[in-house]
Chains A and B, each alone.
Chain A
Amino acid sequence: MIKLIDVAKFYDTRHGRVRIFDHVNLAIAPGDKVGILGRNGAGKSTMIRLISGAEQPTSGRIERTMSVSWPLAFGGAFQNTLTGLDNLRCICRIYGIFPEDKIEFVEDFSELGGYLREPVRTYSAGMRARLAFALSMVVEFDCFLIDEIVAVGDARFTEKCRTELFEKRGDRAMIIVSHDPTYIRAHCDRASALVGGRLHHFEDLDEAFSFYNAAMVGPAEAA
């Protein structure tokens, strides 16, 4: 289980304290597929960082009794001067995995071939994204956090990622953050909408979308 209990997050900015959200409660059971909807700047990524444990809430509690991934869309903390292989070794050491077993998989999946032994700074954006996705599949988690659409490389590679994540790991819990209804519909069973600094829960996807769409066309959210 992952439980967010009365979680609030505030940031101190140049124009004073800003509330991102508060009174947020959320429970994720093993295997749950939950979408979080929200417009740009609503605090979706902040929420993902809080759930992952990379950032601490201002108040409230977050309990985790299953392992949670890092936010998947993110580059994987590459050190640009290091090779892809060194970056793989670093991630493996952090998560206590023996790296040598994973080299073949990453080499294969990322389709980088010999470039895996070149510094990451020489990679194109697509190569980096492929490496990042391959690295995220190296560590097994009970719950995957997916920030925006995992659209990597060309259509064929996107399909490969979809199989790897949503089919082979279909039994895991997933929290998907996006403003794209199609993506959420394809992969989630329920959704919550982050609107006006509150998280609204819906068991039904259609209800979630109609609420979200109404909020989008309605008056600007009162802060």
Chain B
Amino acid sequence: MRFSLRDLLRSGAIEWRIVHALLMREVLTRFGRHNIGFLWLFVEPMIFTLGVTALWTFAKMMHGSSLPIAAFALTGYSAVLLWRNMPSRTIGAVDPNLALMYHRNVKVMDVFLARLILEAAGATISFVVLSIVFIAIGMIEPPEDLLVVTAGWFMLAWFGFSLAVFLGALSEEYEIVEKLWHPSAYLLFPLSGAAFLVDALPVAAQQAVLYLPMVHGVEYLREGYFGSQINAHYDLQYMALCNTALLLLGIAQLRKISRMVIPE
């Protein structure tokens, strides 16, 4: 078989058409046209982040630095929402969409893509809006290096995406994935770097916690936000390696389950 650039462009156009169709369908089924509708996409994560910020402020949480708790909660909790909600949207995503698979061009990956784009967009808008609000009312200082913040955010989104594709595809074959994901996500939260700075930990704990890829992303995000006030620990190469490995495993598993999916 011969592949030409034109075929590739046509495939790309079809792919975008399908993802767009699923995206619109997803927005309507998830948020509907009632009350604020589509705005829930980022209002919900905003409420989460605001709540956690308030809780941590009142509890005067110790995080081992002189940073304002608001800045700490905003960067930490937004990051958690980003990588943790993506797998939650892909695990078990095939079943409610089985009937759509009757349309030849609709594949499992398209269902995943539509849901993940939506999830990432929600978390990102929430993070950006809250950042602007917090900065505007003087609760936190503007980021020191916006490019580093963006890169850190991208790395976390990439991690969430890869994890989501992998776990989503795996959950189609093994039901236990869904059962184990909730406790794991809950237990990973305190270890993910959201609620502490790596620098504040004992050296042995630092080494252990830096095995988790998302910790590097959160540290890099904070490096961009307030790098001069903290000593961030990160290895983006290690994180990129983990992300790539997860994504490849995910795509392989996706290929395997694509042969087993039967439209209802």
Query: Does B17 belong to the interface (CB within 8 Å)?
Result: yes
Q: How large is the interface on B (under 10, 10 to 19, 20 to 34, 35 or more residues)?
A: 20 to 34
Query: Does B103 belong to the interface (CB within 8 Å)?
Result: yes
Query: Does A82 belong to the interface (CB within 8 Å)?
Result: yes
Q: Are A94 and B99 in contact (CB under 8 A)?
A: no
Q: Are B17 and A96 in contact (CB under 8 A)?
A: yes
Q: Are B29 and A81 in contact (CB under 8 A)?
A: yes
**Chain A residue at minimal CB-CB distance from B14:** A96
**How far does the Cβ of B173 sit from chain A's closest Cβ, in whole Å?**
11
Contact with A along B244-264 (1 / 0, CB 8 A): 000000000000001111110
Query: Does A160 belong to the interface (CB within 8 Å)?
Result: no
Tell whether A55 pairs with B99 under 8 Å between CB atoms, given A79-B29, A94-B18, A94-B21.
no
**How far does the Cβ of A85 sit from chain B's closest Cβ, in whole Å?**
11
Which of A30-38, A70-78, A170-178, A198-206 contacts its partner? A70-78
**How far does the Cβ of B96 sit from chain A's closest Cβ, in whole Å?**
9
Across chains A and B, the number of contacting residue pairs, with CB separation under 8 Å, is: 58
Q: How far is the CA of A53 from the CA of B82 in the complex (A)?
A: 35
Main secondary structure of the interface of B (DSSP, over half): helix
Query: Does B65 belong to the interface (CB within 8 Å)?
Result: no
**Chain A residue at minimal CB-CB distance from B104:** A53
Q: How far is the CA of A186 from the CA of B221 in the complex (A)?
A: 69
Tell whether A54 pairs with B263 under 8 Å between CB atoms, given A71-B102, A82-B29.
yes
Tell whether A75 pairs with B99 under 8 Å between CB atoms, given A90-B25, A94-B17.
yes
Which of A53, A86, A93 has the most chain B CB atoms closer than 10 A to its own CB? A93
Q: Are B100 and A77 in contact (CB under 8 A)?
A: yes
Q: List 23 A-B contacts (CB under 8 A).
A: A49-B263, A54-B101, A54-B104, A55-B262, A55-B263, A56-B258, A56-B259, A68-B104, A70-B102, A71-B102, A74-B102, A79-B28, A79-B29, A81-B29, A81-B32, A82-B28, A86-B25, A93-B24, A94-B17, A94-B105, A94-B106, A95-B103, A96-B14
